[in-house]
A = this chain, B = another copy of it.
Amino acid sequence: MKRTQKITIQDIARHANVSPGTVDRVIHDRGKVSPENEQKIKDAIEKLNYNPNLLARTLALGKHFTVCVFFPKSINSQDYWSLPEQGVQQAATGYKDFGFSVESFFYSLFDESSFEEQARKILQINPDGVVFAPLFEKESLMFIKELNERNIPYAFIDANIPDQNNITYIGPDTKRSGYMSGKLLHSLVGVDDDILVLNIVKGMENSTNLTRIEQGFMDYYAEKCAERKPKISSLIIHSTEEDIVFREITKFYIKNPNIKGVFVTNSRAHLIARYHLYHDLNIRVIGFDLVKENIEYLNNGRIDCLISQSPVQQGIKCVKTMFDLFIYNSKPQKIQSVPLDIIIKENIDFYMTFQLETN
């Protein structure tokens, strides 16, 4: 524990025979400096490898940034959406001395109007940045329009809407997770058996992601089973109501009796798992996300494998990205993928423990 020997603006000033203020103006390119001095100062900065002290800078600037995060509501701490929120809070505590604060807002996954309502609230606060999960495409686009007009930087988390002005997308590489799903299902189901790619969606949901996931899935089979591919069907059910889903599934299974594996492109694998349980069907199922219902069916064997998309890390990363943007002024990459974890019966309990306790 010694006194710091870091070089400061004063060191530069001494080296160039000018005052600290002049050095400051060179650094910030505010002009009003004679060419000779400017050169001398720049040389000294180069030579001494000067980097401004972030602490002193933020302290002097005394700025304050508010970032709103905007996720689906979670009912309890087991919920999928409580995990990114946990990551957000965790990261935020480490940044609060930098005058960086986070406010959370939540919308209901079953109610588009709650999204609009909370989005209005966020705009009223007029934050410096916004992180949100654009699960309702139409409403999100309206929100985006407003954010663009006000020049408020925003990041997408968990789901992406392409070709927007967002500073970054933080979430799974959707195509890759589809590809990985293909590989996994391939290991569970032979090439002579039929496969179903099942999209269970509510009307308004962001569909781009599902398309990309499905494409990745198809890519795998096209690449690895070029000569001998299983029959792959695709089905979209436009409801999450159990009776409607069950009716559609029944219709499909009657027409396609040889289905031995199902890939559910989102977190609703539990619906088909329940169907298999009722009818005692021996069909492999893989899906996404450790939501409570999925975990239940993973444990009793009706779901074979779930892919988890590092929800806590997503939360951490989005806060960190905003922090770096405001404090370091560093622009993030447009896409920041997170790890995809394979969860099977054998590691589910360990995985859950760690997601909640550590990180």
Contacts and interface: CB of A to CB of B under 8 A. Distances in A.
B98 A55 contact: yes
A329 interface: no
A342 B347 contact: yes
Contacts of A339: 350-351, 354-355, 358
A4 B63 CA distance: 6
Given A340-B350, A342-B346, A346-B342, A5 B176 contact: no
A245 interface: no
A253 B53 CA distance: 63
A59 B59 contact: yes
A45 to B, nearest CB: 17
Interface in A181-234: 183-184, 187
Contacts of A254: none
A64 B2 contact: yes
A43 interface: no
Chain copies in the assembly? 2
A307 to B, nearest CB: 9
Nearest to A183: B346
Contacts of A128: 1
Interface in A81-126: 97-99
B342 A354 contact: no
A180 interface: yes
B63 A3 contact: yes
A99 B6 contact: yes
Nearest to A176: B350
Contacts of A338: 354, 358
A336 B357 CA distance: 10
Interface string A1-34: 1111110000000000000000000000000000
A99 B5 CA distance: 9
A350 B64 contact: no
Interface string A287-303: 00000000000000000
Contacts of A55: 55-56, 58-59, 97-98
Interface string A318-359: 000000001000000000111111101111001100110010
Interface of A: 1-6, 53-56, 58-59, 62-65, 97-99, 128, 176, 180, 183-184, 187, 326, 336-342, 344-347, 350-351, 354-355, 358
Given A3-B62, A4-B99, A180-B347, 9 more contacts: A1-B65, A1-B128, A53-B97, A59-B59, A187-B346, A339-B354, A340-B347, A341-B341, A342-B342
5 contacts: A1-B128, A4-B99, A53-B97, A184-B347, A339-B355
* Nearest 6 CB-CB pairings of A with B: A339-B354, A54-B97, A55-B55, A4-B64, A4-B99, A342-B347
